[in-house]
Amino acid sequence: MATLSDHRRRMLPPENVDAQPITSDSVSNNHRTTHRRDAGNNGLRHRLVRQESLRRNIEHVAAETYLVSRLAFTLLRYLGIGYRWITQLLALGCYAMLLMPGFLQVAYYYFFTSKVKRSIVYGDQPRNRLDLYLPANIGEPKPVLIFVTGGAWIIGYKAWGSLLGLQLAERGIMVACIDYRNFPQGTISDMVNDTSRGISFIINNIANYGGDPNRIYLMGQSAGAHISSCALLEQAARESEKEDSVSWSISQLKAYLGLSGGYNLLDLVDHFHNRGLDRSIFLSIMEGENSLKEFSPEIKIQDPCLKSSIPHFPPVYLVHGTADYSIPSVASERFAEALKKAGVRAELILYEGKTHTDLFLQDPLRGGKDDLFDLAVAIMHSNDSDALANDAIAPPRRRFVPEILLKLARKISPF
């Protein structure tokens, strides 16, 4: 039987092993060992975080690619498959391939930079999401551009504003790209309601992201110009009727920019039909022939009920290319005239020889000087002398696509 003395003896170090005294060096060695172990654990955690972030980014890329593909096939289903549309589809494919060097660079920025806050929820309906493009330095509140993308009311998608968001963020401007329900998921009233809700969210929450709620601008492109102008006029009607549910005011917008938009649907039904967007489909999008006037800003601005809201309207800038065959520039000309007659401060800017995609795609991908970009920046920095001084010495915007590819893309563009 082991005795207590035997137990104590077993606990002692063997007699032939020299006991090491505890010194400051041994404590230091232990500390370094622990530090290396902690550093290794931290490194492992960082790697796991990066892997998880990469996994989420890849999942987001896959989800967005699926959505874009589904939108494209939806558009083709409504346009019909015939000889004309097969040739148009081939032209679109070639057009996209020629611009692909630029698209890939912008897509990488969109998916993998921390300066893009993707898919912020602004409402409870499908597609009620927005992307927020943040400037590199948010030391003080930044001006904000709300952008509503085009897409023939069928393939509109918030990521179409990535190039605009990237380039304006480089000039210290925050960009919020609103997504909205497309047809057949929604009709025009759903699109307008979604856009209005997105504008309300940004006006009431942008300060939390570093934006200046006193310097908010609204821009729409193509179908997005039509939808956003409808949202503007609908909000003006609510304010005229003094509705209790008003969550934002048109007076909170510093300016409205309409790019290559159509504002009188009665004039555009036949034009779109001749270009392949079937009349019956277009009327379904616009909720029937009886609704065309209601969703025609050129006509609605003449409503006497809006007279009390006119003094609160922001300045309106309508921009169009004279070689635009998707939506003729006369659409902006007539809307500008209607706005001026109603008492709104409106300015028409026409760019000679520019097509529907030149202003929004080819010219920005070209880099360097861009009249439309300079106009937008000048409007949003108009009351900021420091920003204007920085704009004057800003380096030229970089080129994304070689000039020869841009010229070829322009020639075969189906738009």
Q: How do residues 5-27 score in pLDDT, each as one tens digit?
A: 444 434 444 444 444 444 545 54
Look at the domain 115-399 and name its fold.
Rossmann fold (3.40.50)
Q: For 49-63, 108-122, 244-258, which range has the lowest pLDDT when averaged over its residues? A: 49-63
Phi first, then psi: give them for residue 316, nearest 5 degrees. Answer: -115, 130
Cα separations (Å) of 127 from 66, 124, 176, 331?
14, 9, 15, 29
Question: Does pLDDT of 308 surpass 70?
Answer: yes
278 catalytic, yes or no?
A: no
In the set 194, 324, 363, 370, the catalytic residue is: 324
What local confidence, expressed as pLDDT, does residue 11 receive? 41
Please give the distance of CA 214 from its chain centroid, rounded to a whole number: 20
- Give dist(CA 253, CA 217) in Å, integer: 5
324 catalytic, yes or no?
A: yes
What local confidence, expressed as pLDDT, does residue 325 receive? 92
The DSSP result for 249-263, as a single string, is -GGGEEEEEEES---
Nearest to 143 by CA among 80, 46, 210, 68: 210
To the nearest whole number, what is the mean pLDDT of the chain?
85
Question: What token pair was written down for 326?
Answer: 């998707």
The single-letter code of the amino acid at 91 is A
What local confidence, expressed as pLDDT, does residue 20 receive? 46
Portion of the chain with pLDDT greater than 70, in percent: 79
Q: How do residues 323-342 score in pLDDT, each as one tens digit?
A: 999 999 999 999 999 999 99
Question: What token pair was written down for 415?
Answer: 């738009």
- Give dist(CA 278, CA 69) in Å, integer: 21
228 catalytic, yes or no?
A: no
What local confidence, expressed as pLDDT, does residue 73 receive? 64
Collapse the DSSP code of 6 into the 3-class scheme (helix H, G, I; strand E, B; otherwise coil) and give the result: helix
Q: How do residues 56-94 score in pLDDT, each as one tens digit?
A: 656 656 666 666 666 666 655 555 545 566 777 788 889
176-185, 238-247, 268-277: which is most confident: 176-185
pTM: 0.81
Portion of the chain with pLDDT greater than 90, in percent: 67
Nearest to 286 by CA among 107, 143, 153, 90: 153
- Give dist(CA 339, CA 353) in Å, integer: 25
What local confidence, expressed as pLDDT, does residue 80 receive? 55
Q: How do residues 140-188 score in pLDDT, each as one tens digit?
A: 999 999 999 999 999 899 999 999 999 999 999 999 999 999 998 999 9
